[in-house]
Amino acid sequence: MSSKRWVITGGSRGIGLATAKAALSHGDRVAIMARRLDESALRRELGADALLLTADVTDSSSIAEAFSRVRAVWGGLDVLVNNAGLHRGRRLARLETADWDAVLATNLSGPMHCIKAALDLMVGGGSVVNIGAVVGLRGFPGDSPYGASKAGLAGLTQVLAVELAPKGIRVNLVVPGLVMSEMTSEVDGKAMERLLARIPLGRVGQAEEIAEVICWVARSTYMTGAVIPTDGGLMAQF
């Protein structure tokens, strides 16, 4: 298949970095976007040709500047992966409004900013892969900001799948389950035990397993508006 040009937000670690490596292994060109980048470490991981874009998905002007660089270097874009995420959670009675606002700004407004900036670069069509979460489709106490933001992202995926189809742009949602990362390392021991007990496959996922699905979805030319759980059966169990 022809080489693709990718932008992956939150691409400096975890699922984002695993996806960048997988795309590069297919001969694609990759730009990773993050607020903080360890350039020397990423060059060792990804090679000299990867684009490294320092940008904040909550800042539309920062995003516009990053996508302008993509246009200048590549002339266009084929795949956008909205992977950047922020998790802050407490039971509603103790939830700080600032935490609610920060999570929605990153997990919901951030993808909107990126998709909007990418539209003019996907002149021949393209693929947007949004990264959801089980808690966006199933309830889990104490996760109202994260769950609300990911539920909103699921809704945005459905709307834009229909809205952007005439432009040849496909929009899908990949829903990882429990994957070990810096974000999930914050889950306390008792909550982790409860989650593991609910996963039919009996283990956490690996970032590389999610990246494999993201790459498949990105290249699936007759798929749009789909929700693809990659969660070890967690949603089926709930």
| pLDDT tier, 184 (very low <50, low <70, confident <90, very high otherwise) | low
Sign of the Cα pseudo-torsion (79, 108, 58, 45, in order)? negative
Q: Rounded to two decimals, what is the model's pTM?
A: 0.94
Q: What is d(CA 186, CA 89) in angstroms, rounded to the nearest whole number?
A: 10
Q: What is the pLDDT, as a whole number, of residue 238?
A: 62
Q: What is d(CA 58, CA 197) in angstroms, rounded to the nearest whole number?
A: 35
The whole-number average pLDDT for the span 152-161 is 98
The whole-number average pLDDT for the span 169-187 is 84
What pLDDT, in 10s, does the model give residues 97-109? 999 999 999 999 9
Q: What is d(CA 8, CA 15) in angstroms, rounded to the nearest whole number?
A: 10
Residues known to be catalytic: 146
Neighbours of 88 (CB within 10 A): 16
Residue 186 sits at φ, ψ, to 5 deg, of -80, -10
**Edge-to-edge, what's the strand order for the sheet holding 126-131?**
51-54, 29-34, 5-9, 79-82, 126-131, 169-176, 227-230
Mean pLDDT score across all residues of the chain: 93
pLDDT of 188 above 80 = no
pLDDT of 46 above 90 = yes
Please determine, looking at this structure, whether the domain spanning 5-237 carries the CATH number 3.40.50.12780: no
Contact 203/34 with Cβ under 8 angstroms?
no
Contact 54/34 with Cβ under 8 angstroms?
yes
Q: What is the pLDDT, as a whole number, of residue 167?
A: 97
Give the residues across from 229 on adjacent strands: 175
pLDDT of 155 above 80 = yes
pLDDT of 17 above 90 = yes
Q: What is the pLDDT, as a whole number, of residue 60?
A: 94
Contacts of 163 (CB under 8 A, 6+ apart): none
| pLDDT tier, 1 (very low <50, low <70, confident <90, very high otherwise) | low
What pLDDT, in 10s, does the model give residues 116-142? 999 999 999 999 999 999 999 998 888
pLDDT of 233 above 90 = yes
